[in-house]
Amino acid sequence: HVIFALPLLVNSDVSVVPTVVPQTFAFRGLTELVFVLYVLLLLLNRAYLPRFSSVLLSALAFTGILGVSTLTSIHPARSFWGTVWRPEGYILFLHLLLFFLVLVGVFREKKEWIRLFRFIAFVSVPLAFIALAIKIVHPSAWRIDTTFGGASHYGSYLAIIILLSFFAILYEQGRRFKILFLLIALMNISVLLFLNSTKGAWIGVGTALGFLAFSWLLFFSKGKEQKRKASKTKIILNKV
């Protein structure tokens, strides 16, 4: 959970990119520590091995292809390490893969994922208030990035949080949490529209929500039709 709270981390004592460098190195360090502990857990209980799935296979294939691309690039060292401003080299994707393996290995039940989604959504709330505070203090500011060091980065984060909130609404059982997730989603949509203004994130959220709504209506109507047929069959059997 600490790793998902890293967007709140800013260290003003870092002279180079205080909003990016602390988060990057904290993520790498914590991921390596968690993965080592995860390997020790596997030595004690192999039941926590990641289950094979198409998603896992896709993640492994993507990271492998990206590794080949890194080795054959014009500047392999730059491709592997990235830069101070954009530490998004291949080393980041290796850490993301390790973190993904830990998540799918440890979180086995749907309720565990829902709890994690709650925490991730809650972390976005203080960031939204930071964005609002920046706008109040600096009214002329536009494309606010809060603690991310770039408006596009914050916009991508908001897009993920918005979609995650709507996804959680569908699977959350408690009415209070459904309402809470909806409020968080609406709040982040407002921040994305009026304070961040990342067009790519707008398009991504709009497209994903449209697809989500279409899929939900499709499966909901199909499930409703199946229930209606089952009800008719039950009536006929009762008459017989």
Separation of alpha carbons 217 and 229, rounded Å: 18
Q: Are 127 and 173 in contact (CB under 8 A)?
A: no
Q: Are 85 and 20 in contact (CB under 8 A)?
A: yes
Give the model's pLDDT for residue 229: 43
Give the model's pLDDT for residue 230: 39
Give the model's pLDDT for residue 171: 80
Query: CA–CA distance from 34 to each of 3, 29, 110, 217 (Å)?
Result: 10, 9, 21, 40
Give the model's pLDDT for residue 104: 92
Give the model's pLDDT for residue 208: 83
Give the model's pLDDT for residue 143: 80
Mean pLDDT by 10 residues, the chain (240 residues): 80 57 84 95 91 91 94 90 76 94 90 87 89 84 78 86 86 84 89 81 85 75 49 38
Confirm whether pTM is higher than 0.85. no
